[in-house]
């Protein structure tokens, strides 16, 4: 079937609707679903590895479906076997699709480079450290919300289970997925959270998981949109549109306990910027409990 499709041996209807639409898009959908599943349970490094493996495959499938359907349309156009109108319509549709794909490929290089760097172990922030207070009632997390942060946090809490009561956060942020996993650890052990100096970006998910959430006077808590890997290397006109992804982020903050209005404001802050609310705003939005 693969070679026959490329040669245009199948009818235009089958080539277009079955091979190009049904088969190709089904495979692309399954590939996206696989990446999403890996992102939900695995580290960001595994996500980048999956993207590096699946993106070339997706491109190959697209080329196969497009070339074969184009060949089928050309044959129908010049053979007189079937409607020339539909053959021309298919050629026009495929041409427009190719133009769109060329534009996407221009943006693919920087994104794939970023995924390669992440797959090789690049992290968004400085290395994190975990230290205990003298009585072990406080566990201080300092540094980036990097790969392995949640596991290290869980191991540290389990080492003094029942003694640790508060996680003190001092972080510029990092991976959102790792921030969610840190939040799960904090929530599972019913711990309090406290900001000593700053808690930015993904760190705020860990902060919001605390039973009691407090901060030193002058401590900074910062919010902005999450970004996809490599998105910061794309021109603004080619970045992912706001929509479903932003609604998911907004829902994530609402589920964490902040007010819907506050969550909407968070996802409207570009990822290249940082919104640092006042202490009163944090209290009003239930980011801090006292």
Q: What is the pLDDT of residues 153-198, one digit of tens each?
A: 999 999 999 999 999 999 999 999 899 999 999 999 999 999 999 9
The per-residue pLDDT for 131 is: 97
Confidence of residue 100 (pLDDT cuts 50, 70, 90): confident
pTM for the model: 0.79
Using CA atoms, how far apart are residues 211 and 185, in angstroms rounded to an integer? Answer: 12
Task: Output 36 or 186, whichever has higher pLDDT.
Answer: 186
Which structural domains are found in the chain, ordered by start?
2-119 (no CATH), 129-284 (3.90.226.10)
Using CA atoms, how far apart are residues 33 and 158, in angstroms rounded to an integer? Answer: 33
Please, what is the average pLDDT of the chain?
A: 89
Strand duo 213-215 + 166-171: pairing: unpaired
Instruction: Kindly state the average pLDDT of the residues 7-30.
Output: 84
The structure tokens 């992102």 sit at 39
The per-residue pLDDT for 81 is: 67
Confidence of residue 151 (pLDDT cuts 50, 70, 90): very high
CB 34 within 8 A of CB 50: yes
The per-residue pLDDT for 104 is: 80
The per-residue pLDDT for 34 is: 85
Percent of the chain with pLDDT over 70: 95
The per-residue pLDDT for 235 is: 59
Strand duo 192-200 + 213-215: pairing: parallel
Count of residues for the chain? Answer: 290
pLDDT exceeds cutoff 90 at 127: yes
Token duo for residue 16:
């277009």
The per-residue pLDDT for 68 is: 92
pLDDT exceeds cutoff 60 at 245: yes
DSSP-based three-state secondary structure for 218: coil
Nearest to 171 by CA among 184, 187, 183: 183
Q: What is the pLDDT of residues 208-220, one digit of tens each?
A: 999 999 999 999 9
Instruction: Kindly state the average pLDDT of the residues 44-53.
Output: 90
Instruction: Kindly state the average pLDDT of the residues 242-246.
Output: 57
Percent of the chain with pLDDT over 90: 50
User: Of 27-31, 123-127, 256-260, which one has max mean pLDDT?
Assistant: 123-127
SS3 breakdown of the chain: % helix, strand, coil, rounded to 5? 60, 10, 30
Instruction: Kindly state the average pLDDT of the residues 31-58.
Output: 85
pLDDT exceeds cutoff 80 at 239: no
The per-residue pLDDT for 202 is: 94
Q: What is the pLDDT of residues 260-272, one digit of tens each?
A: 899 999 999 998 8
Using CA atoms, how far apart are residues 160 and 288, in angstroms rounded to an integer? Answer: 26
Confidence of residue 243 (pLDDT cuts 50, 70, 90): very low
CB 90 within 8 A of CB 69: yes
Q: Which of 4-8, 106-110, 158-162, 274-278 has the lowest mean pLDDT?
A: 106-110
The per-residue pLDDT for 242 is: 45
The per-residue pLDDT for 44 is: 86
């Amino acid at each position: 079937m693969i070679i026959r499709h490329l040669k245009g041996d199948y009818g235009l209807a089958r080539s277009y609707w079955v091979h190009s639409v049904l088969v190709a898009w089904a495979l692309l959908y399954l590939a996206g679903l696989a990446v999403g599943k890996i992102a939900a349970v695995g580290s960001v490094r595994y996500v980048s590895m999956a993207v590096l493996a699946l993106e070339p495959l997706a491109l190959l499938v697209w080329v196969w479906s497009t070339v074969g359907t184009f060949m089928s349309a050309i044959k129908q156009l010049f053979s007189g076997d079937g409607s020339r109108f539909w053959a021309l319509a298919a050629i026009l549709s495929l041409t427009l699709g190719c133009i769109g794909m060329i534009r996407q490929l221009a943006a693919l290089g920087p994104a794939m480079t970023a995924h390669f760097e992440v797959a090789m172990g690049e992290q968004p922030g400085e290395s994190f450290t975990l230290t205990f207070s003298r009585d072990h009632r406080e566990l201080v997390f300092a540094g980036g919300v990097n790969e392995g942060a949640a596991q290290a946090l869980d191991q540290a809490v389990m080492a003094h289970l029942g003694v640790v009561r508060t996680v003190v956060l001092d972080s510029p942020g990092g991976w959102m997925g790792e921030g969610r996993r840190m939040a799960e650890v904090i929530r599972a052990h019913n711990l309090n959270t406290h900001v000593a100096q700053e808690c930015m970006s993904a760190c705020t998910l860990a902060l919001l998981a605390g039973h009691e959430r407090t901060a030193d006077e002058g401590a900074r808590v910062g919010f902005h949109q999450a970004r996809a890997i490599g998105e910061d290397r794309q021109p603004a006109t080619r970045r992912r549109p706001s929509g479903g992804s932003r609604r998911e982020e907004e829902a994530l903050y609402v589920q964490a306990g902040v007010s819907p209005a506050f969550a909407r404001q968070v996802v409207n802050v570009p990822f290249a910027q940082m919104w640092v609310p006042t202490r009163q705003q944090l209290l009003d939005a239930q980011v801090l409990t006292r």
